[in-house]
Structure 1
Amino acid sequence: MRQIDDPDMLKILANGFRMKLFGLLFRIGPVTVSELARRMDADPGQVSYHLRQMQKHGFIEDVPELARDSRERWVRAVMVGWILTGDFEDPEAKAALQAWTSQWVIDQFERLRDFERTHMKLPEEWRNTAFGGSHHLRLTKDELAQLADQLCAVLQPWRELTRSRVESNEAPPDTRPIFTFYHAFPEEP
């Protein structure tokens, strides 16, 4: 897990364009900047600018061994989980955290909405493997923390498998990007 302790790191992905760019890069990367620009329907210069900002903070990396010439730039998302460890108590840090959190939640639900609108276009075997759910639990704060640890432990081997496939650029032909998200939070009674 990568520790995020700097509000400037949160500001990088609090930008909606960068959040979408990072998500796309994860799904299709490694990829050329020109292909990212085409898929984002954006100017390659704009995409390059945002990629440089993300690279400064370690969210993406170049993959120069894939370039066919000196003008072609290949990039990929850095495959690590994030954990907030910084002191986000001062007003500027709180604002950065709130902006990033808001954009993160918006991105998650936009992706779920897009899946629901388009899932019938997927092959049937993929449509039938997607899942979701909601559960109403009554837990102490310590039990909720334990649940979070257990969920992270369940996902860790799958994250490692994904990281090795992305970094080696070797995955079975029927591999697809899978987006997983969940939230567990206390509600007022």
Structure 2
Amino acid sequence: MPESAPRNYRSLDPRSLRGLAHPLRMRLLNTLRHDGPATASQLAHKLGESSGATSYHLRQLAAHGFVEDDPERGKGRERWWKASEDGTSFDDSLFTDPDPAVRGAADLFLHEVATTHTQEVGTWLGTAREWPDEWRRSSDLSDWTLRLTPAQAYELNQKVHELIESYKDLAPSADSADSEDAAQVRMHLHAFPRSTD
């Protein structure tokens, strides 16, 4: 991923990667980032898990600094959790770490990211007809094959990331007239070389 981590993004190191690289932990963190604060019970219901499992994995995420208490919401024994950062950046050096556990965690992490992207696209395709025409026209499943050097591919990724980040400032506030037409929009970017053999 490009070097410049935008906004409140966390760069994974070997320790934090090992703490995050678990399918349920990644789903919990994504849900808190996309849908906002929630309790372990609410997350369990949403993700089809037991509240014991979500509670345990939320505590593990908290131990690694990915989630924290949301003091504005909790009442009595009810503990609300929120994501500590907006996103995560992955450094390629994790693939070549001398510790095989770190390299395995890197593989698992990226495969889970790819699985999540596939599930999100599948959900969109299965529900697209429930959305208004303007949202269906605004969606995109494009792909290109370019012949680039590694430096050109890196530069292209940087420019795409910067463009996407620039749209975060354009989001309508919750009380603006445009907010009724706004929805969360997921952007997936996959760029990788392929063999032509």
Same fold (TM over 0.5): yes
Structure-2 residue corresponding to 1:144: 153
% identical aligned pairs: 29
Q: Secondary structure at the match of 1:184?
A: coil
Cα distance in 2 between the residues matched to 1:170 and 1:122: 22
Moved more, 84-93 or 135-144: 84-93
For residue 12 of structure 2, the aligned residue among 4, 8, 25 is: 4
Residue 89 in structure 1 maps to residue 134 in structure 2 = no
C-alpha RMSD over aligned residues = 2.5
Q: Is the 1:37–1:44 Cα contact (8 Å) retained in structure 2?
A: yes
1:1-189 aligned within 5 A: 1=5, 2-6=10-14, 8-67=15-74, 69-77=75-83, 78-84=85-91, 86-87=93-94, 88-90=96-98, 91-159=100-168, 172-189=179-196
Q: Secondary structure at the match of 1:61?
A: strand
- Deviation track 1:108-136 (CA, whole Å, cap 9, x = no partner) reads 11111121112212233322221121011
- Specify every segment of 5 or more residues in structure 2 that has no aligned partner in the other structure, as ranges: none
Whichever residue aligns with residue 42 of structure 1, its letter is E
Q: Could you tell me how far 1:29 is from its partner in structure 2?
A: 1.0
- TM, length-normalised to structure 1: 0.83
Q: Aligned in 2, Cα 1:33/1:181: closer, same or farther, shift over 3 Å?
A: same
- Cα offset for 1:146? 0.5
Q: Which protein, 1 or 2, shows the higher relative CO under an 8 Å CA cutoff with sep ≥ 6?
A: 1
May I ask how many residue pairs the two structures share in their alignment?
183
**Contact 1:5-1:86 within 8 A present in 2 as well:** no
- Segments of 4+ moved more than 6 angstroms: none
CA contact (8 A) 1:63 1:75 kept: yes
TM-score (structure 2 length as normaliser): 0.80
